[in-house]
Structure 1
C-alpha cells in the first residue's frame, strides 16, 4: 500500500474509488436511455465534423463508423440505434477491462512523457506494447485538455482495447482492408472543473429521469492503427481535419452563445485559462496511453496490486467486473546522501524533492529489427528525507526529436 501523501492520496482509497466509478458508470451505460441519446447526439456531431472535412455524406459516415472500430457494412437505421449499439458495446468493454490507477506523481510523469511524443513516434506502437488486452486507467485527478475543436475537457479515465480489427480504406483497390488497431475511449469527470451550460442541462435532465449521471462520463472513442507509417497524404489529411475541427468547434460555440449557452464556464478556483494541455491533432489520448504503456514496460513505473477485501468483491460483482486493481506509481530512486549535486549545489537547503531530467529517445533493437520509444529518467532531486512535490515534471521534461 502506498504511503499517504500530503494531498491525501492512498493506493487503497484510490482503488476503492476506481472500483466504484467503474461500477456506477457501467450501470449507467447499461440502463439509462439518456446515455444513448447523448451518444447519438455526439455521433451526429462527429458525423457533421467529418462531413465538413470530406464534403460527402457517405464518405463521412464511413469515416465515423470505421473510426469507431465497426465494419463499413454496418448501417444503423438512425442515430439513436447507432448510439445504443456503441453504448452497449462500451458497457461490456468497461466491465471486463483490467483496472489500473495512477498515483499523482506518476500522472505528472506520464503527462510529461506524452508531451514529448511526435506524430512519427506513434507509428512505433505495436500490440505487444499493451500491458493487457483491455484496461481502464483511472487518474487521481482530472487532466485538463484543450481538444482539437477548441473545447476544454477534464479527462479522468481512459479505456483501451486491443488489438482490434479496424477497417481502413485501401486506395489501391478502392475497398476496405482490415488492420490491427487499438481502440481508446476517453471519460471526463462529472464533477471536474469544466461545467459548461449544456452539461449542466444534461445533468439536470438525467436527475429528472431518475438516472443521475455517473462519476465518469463517456466522451470520445477512436481507433488508432498499430504499426502504421503515415504517408504525406495521411499527414495532410490529418492537418486538414484538425483545421476543420477547429472551425466547426468555433461555429458551434458561437451558435450556443446565440442561444444563450455559455460554453466557457469552469468552476474550479484552481483552473487558469492556458494551463490546459493543447491537443492540436486529436491524438492526445493516444499519446498519453502510449507514454503510459512505455513507462510501464521500462519499469520507471512500479506496479503493485491493491488489497482486495470482501467489500471490493461485492462492489465489482454488481457488474461482473474483476475486483483487482493495479496501482501504478513512480518507482523510488536509490537513496542519495544530501551532498552537493551535479551542479555543485548543496541539497541540504531544499525542503522538498522534485522530478527532473526526463527525455525521450528512439532506441533501435537489433533482435527485433525495430525502434522503440525509451525514456531516460526521470530521477528525483533533493534530500531523500524530504517530501516529493508534484507538478514540476512537466516543466522539467526536454524533448529529443529523432
Structure 2
C-alpha cells in the first residue's frame, strides 16, 4: 500500500558531513523509543493511514472495474493485491480503519523486535546509486533466506530522502522496517514467503508545508504528539526468487506491467526508466511508480549480502556518566552499515604510479544479472553481480561524476 503523499515544500537539505556512527546510533535509539511510546493509539497517525488505505483501495477498485477480472472476484483481488501482499490472511477487514489498526500493530512489532541499523552516508550513497539501476521486476528475484541478513530489521538513513510522488507531491523517507511474512493471494488461492516493508517519514524532516506543521501543532496541543518516525506506507515483496529463472525479456515485460498498473492508478504517463549507470547526486527522487522503497531495500540487502557494505557494532564511545574516564562502552542495540574497503590503497606511493593506472576516486559499478551454471545441481541460476565499489580504499566516493584516471 503506497505512501501517504503530502504536498510538501522542501527545506534546505541537511548536510551529512557531520555524521558519526555513535551520534547516529544515539539518535536512532532515542527516536525509536519515542516512536514506541507515541505511536500506539495515536489518533492523528491512525487518521492519516486510514485515509491512505481508503484512497488506495478506491483507486485499485476503479482499475479492476475496467479490467477482465470477473466481477465476483474483484473485491477479493483488491484486498489480496494490498493487504494480502503485506501478510494479512483472509477474512479481509470490514473497513479501512480495521486495516490501519492491523498495520499499526505490525509496525509496532517491527520497532520492538527488529535489529536496528544506522547506515553511513557513504553506504547510503552506494545503495541509492545501485537502486537507480534496478527495474521493478528485478526486485522479484529476491531470495529472503540468502539475501537478507535478519528476518526483522529497521534501518535509519543518514538524512531523509525527498521523493516526488504520484501527482507531483513531495514526501520524505528517513527509515525502513521489515519482517518476514507469508503473503496471501487469490485467483488462485495461494501463499508465498514474503517480506513486509514499512516506510517511515521524518516528523521534523526537510519537507514541511503549512498543512503538515498544523497537524504537528494540533497533535501536540491535544497531548498526542506525532512520533519522530511516522509510518508512511506498507508494501509486500515476494521473497522466494519468484522470477529468478525467467528471461530478461520476461522481466522487462513484468516491469512494463508494473508501470502500466501504476499509471492506471494515478493517471501518470511520464516514463521512469532506470539509469544504466548508478548515480545519485543527493537530489529529489522521482517515485511516480511507487517502487523506490522496494528498489532501495533490495539494493541495501544485496550490497550487504555480497560484501559491498558491512554491518557491525558501533565503535565504543565514552560513557556520559564518567566523562573523564578512559573506559568506553558500545551501543549494543544499534549496528552501523558502512562501505567495505574492498580495494587496497593505490595512492600511498605516488612514485609507483607509472607501474599501472591509479584511480583518484571510488565509484559504484552497477548491478547486473548473469546466468551461472551450477555443476552440482546441473542447472543454471540467475544471480546478481555487483554492485560493488571500484577504486582505492583511501579515495573519496563520488556519485554522479566520472572517476578521474591518473596515469
Q: TM-score, normalised by structure 1?
A: 0.76
Show the 5 A alignment for 1:185-204: 185-204=198-217
- SS of the equivalent of 2:39 reads helix
Q: Quote the offset at 1:153 in angstroms.
A: 2.1
CA contact (8 A) 1:44 1:79 kept: yes
- What CA distance in whole angstroms lies between the structure 1 residues aligned with 2:211 and 2:24? 30
> Match for 1:135 among 137, 153, 158?
153
CA contact (8 A) 1:190 1:217 kept: yes
- What CA distance in whole angstroms lies between the structure 2 residues aligned with 1:212 and 1:33? 10
CA contact (8 A) 1:101 1:139 kept: yes
Q: Quote the offset at 1:187 in angstroms.
A: 0.7
- What CA distance in whole angstroms lies between the structure 2 residues aligned with 1:198 and 1:249? 28
Show the 5 A alignment for 1:77-88: 78-88=95-105
Q: Quote the offset at 1:396 in angstroms.
A: 5.2
Find the counterpart in structure 1 of residue 384 from structure 2: 373
Q: Quote the offset at 1:98 in angstroms.
A: 0.7
Q: Are residue 178 (structure 1) and residue 191 (structure 2) matched?
A: yes
- What CA distance in whole angstroms lies between the structure 1 residues aligned with 2:52 and 2:333? 32
- What CA distance in whole angstroms lies between the structure 1 residues aligned with 2:319 and 2:189? 48
The 1:290–1:365 alpha-carbon spacing in structure 2 relative to 1, beyond 3 Å, is: farther
Q: Quote the offset at 1:105 in angstroms.
A: 0.8
Q: Deviations over 1:48-83 (max 9, x none)?
A: 22123212772434433213321231223x332332
The 1:207–1:376 alpha-carbon spacing in structure 2 relative to 1, beyond 3 Å, is: closer
Structure 1 residues 65-74 or 138-147, which shifts more?
A: 65-74
Q: Quote the offset at 1:294 in angstroms.
A: 1.1
Q: TM-score, normalised by structure 2?
A: 0.75
Unaligned runs of 5+ residues in structure 1 are 251-273, 313-321, 348-352, 398-402
- SS of the equivalent of 2:34 reads helix
- SS of the equivalent of 1:393 reads coil
Q: Quote the offset at 1:240 in angstroms.
A: 2.8
Find the counterpart in structure 2 of residue 393 from structure 1: 399
Q: Quote the offset at 1:278 in angstroms.
A: 1.8
The 1:6–1:160 alpha-carbon spacing in structure 2 relative to 1, beyond 3 Å, is: closer
> Match for 2:305 among 297, 304, 310?
297
- SS of the equivalent of 2:189 reads strand
Q: Quote the offset at 1:242 in angstroms.
A: 1.1
Find the counterpart in structure 1 of residue 25 from structure 2: 15
Q: Quote the offset at 1:357 in angstroms.
A: 4.8
- SS of the equivalent of 1:373 reads strand
Q: Deviations over 1:341-380 (max 9, x none)?
A: 7999887xxxxx6432512222426257522222153134
Q: Deviations over 1:181-213 (max 9, x none)?
A: 111111111122212343223212211221212
Find the counterpart in structure 2 of residue 329 from structure 1: 338
Counting matched residue pairs gives 346
Find the counterpart in structure 2 of residue 48 from structure 1: 58
- What CA distance in whole angstroms lies between the structure 2 residues aligned with 1:341 and 1:184? 47
The 1:376–1:241 alpha-carbon spacing in structure 2 relative to 1, beyond 3 Å, is: closer
- What CA distance in whole angstroms lies between the structure 2 residues aligned with 1:302 and 1:346? 25
- What CA distance in whole angstroms lies between the structure 1 residues aligned with 2:236 and 2:316? 32
Structure 1 residues 353-362 or 103-112, which shifts more?
A: 353-362
Show the 5 A alignment for 1:215-226: 215-226=228-239
CA contact (8 A) 1:157 1:188 kept: yes
Q: Are residue 228 (structure 1) and residue 242 (structure 2) matched?
A: yes
Show the 5 A alignment for 1:213-292: 213-226=226-239, 227-229=241-243, 235=255, 237-247=257-267, 275-292=283-300
Q: Quote the offset at 1:104 in angstroms.
A: 0.5
- What CA distance in whole angstroms lies between the structure 1 residues aligned with 2:319 and 2:107? 25
Unaligned runs of 5+ residues in structure 2 are 1-14, 66-70, 271-281, 321-330
- What CA distance in whole angstroms lies between the structure 1 residues aligned with 2:319 and 2:171? 32
CA contact (8 A) 2:114 2:154 kept: yes
- What CA distance in whole angstroms lies between the structure 1 residues aligned with 2:319 and 2:365? 39
Q: Are residue 356 (structure 1) and residue 363 (structure 2) matched?
A: yes
Question: Please, what is the CA RMSD of the aligned residues?
Answer: 3.4
- What CA distance in whole angstroms lies between the structure 1 residues aligned with 2:402 and 2:338? 19
CA contact (8 A) 2:130 2:387 kept: no
- SS of the equivalent of 2:174 reads strand
- SS of the equivalent of 2:196 reads strand
